Amino acid sequence: MTPLFEILANLCLGAVCAEHILPVSHPMTQQKCEANAAHVVSTWIDKHPAYTVKDQSCMSVAALAPKAISVTETAPNHFVHFGKVEDVIAGSDGDVANTGFIIGSDGVAVIDSGTTRFVGESLYLAVRQKTDLPINWLILTHMHPDHILGAEVFQEAGAEVIGSEKLNSAVGIRAESYVGNMLRLLGEKQVHGTKVILPTKAVSGTFEIDLGGRVLTLANYKTAHTNNDLSVFDQTSSTLWTGDLAFLEHVPALDGSINGWIDVLETLTSMKARAIIPGHGRFVADHPDGLQPTLSYLKALRLEVREALAKGENLATTASHAGTGLRADWQMFVSFNARNATNAYVELEWE
C-alpha cells in the first residue's frame, strides 16, 4: 500500500508558534501532499486571520504515530480514548474527556473531539493509524468544552458535525467564554489554533448513521446533564456511548435538571445494550450496571436537598452539606458537589 501523508504547518499567533496537523478530506500520497500543502495552509489562514504561517511540510501517517492519542479497541473496529480523571488545570493538556471512533466498511464516525485543537489533532491521528476511510461524521454528545473544542479538525477532515437539536444555540451563546476560559486555564500554547465551530446537522428524537454494515443510533433527551445531551448506540457491538449522562470515577456534574437526569438514566437502564462508555471514567462498564453510580448519586443528592428544603434550610447551608456523605465514592468531589447541590436546590425549591 502507498504510504499516506499529512500536512504539518508551523503556525503563529503573535509570538506563540506551534506545529499543527491540517487534515484534508482525501488521503494523500507524499507527492499530492507536497503539491497541496501551501494551498491548504493558506485556506486555513483565511479562516483564522489572527494566525500567520512560518513553514509547512508533509509527514507520513506512520511517522506521526507518536503524536496519536492512545486508544483501546473495546470491540472490533470500536476504539475508545479514556481521558484523564482530573479538572482542566494549568500545566495539563486538558485531555479529560472520553472520546473515540467507530469504523464501518464505508467510513468512520468520531465521537466527541476533546478540549483543544491539539487533542482533536491527536485523536484524528489515532483514526488515521487505523484506517484511511473517510471520516464522515463527528458526533458531539453535548456542549461542554472538554467534549467539543477539537471539532474543527474533523470538519477540515470532511466530517459532518452532528449534535442534539439544542446544541447549536447552546454552543453559539457560549463560544467566546469557552475559548476564553480555556485560555485562562491552559494558556496560549495549549489552546493554540482552537476555534469553536457549530454543528451542521441536528438530531431531533433519533437519527441513524450507516457506516457501511454498521449502524449507529443517535438519540437526544429532555434536559438532564445539560439541555443538549445525545447518546450514541453502536448496534454491532451493542455499546452505548452515554456522553456525560453517565460518569464513573469522576463525580457527576449537574448542568441541566436533576429530575430530568434521573428520568433519562432510568430510561437508559431499560434499553437493551451490552456495554456503556461513560463521558468520564477510565473503563468500559457493563450495561446497565455502569449507569448505577450516577443514578445513585443523583437520587441521594435529590433526597437530601428535598429534606433540607422541607426543613426551610437556605441555599448556602444546603450546599455545604447535601451529598457530602457520598464523597468516598468519587474523585473530583470537592470541585463539583457543592455546585451540584446548588443547582438541585434552585430546581427543587419550586416543586
Where do contacts with Zn ion occur on this chain (CB under 5 A)?
144, 244
Closer to Zn ion by CB, 141 or 239: give it.
141
Judged by beta carbon, residue 10 or residue 259, the one nearer Zn ion is 259
Residue at grid coordinates 433519562: 264
Shortest Cβ 179–Zn ion spacing (Å): 17
Residue 151: closest CA among 199, 192, 190, 187: 199
Q: How far is CA 307 from CA 32, 249, 294, in A?
A: 67, 27, 20
Least distance to Zn ion, CB of residue 132, Å: 32
Long-range contacts of residues 200-208, Cβ cutoff 8 Å, at least 24 apart: 200/160, 200/161, 200/162, 201/160, 201/161, 201/162, 201/163, 202/162, 202/163, 202/164, 202/165, 202/167, 202/168, 203/162, 203/163, 203/164, 203/165, 203/230, 204/165, 207/162
Which residues in the chain belong to E strands, given as ranges? 5-13, 16-22, 51-60, 72-75, 78-81, 99-103, 108-111, 135-139, 160-164, 201-203, 206-210, 215-220, 230-234, 239-247, 275-280, 285-286
In angstroms, what is the minimal distance from the CB of 258 to Zn ion? 15
Shortest distance, position 53 Cβ to Zn ion, whole Å: 34
Q: Taking the complex as a whole, how short is the minimal distance between the CB of residue 316 and Zn ion, in angstroms?
A: 25
> Which CB atom, from 224 or from 305, has the smaller least distance to Zn ion?
224
How far is it, in rounded angstroms, from Cα 297 to Cα 134? Answer: 40
67 vs 144, which CB is nearer to Zn ion? Answer: 144
To the nearest whole angstrom, how small is the minimum distance from the Cβ of residue 253 to Zn ion? Answer: 6
Residue whose CB is less far from Zn ion, 63 or 89: 89
Cβ proximity to Zn ion: between 234 and 244 the closer is 244
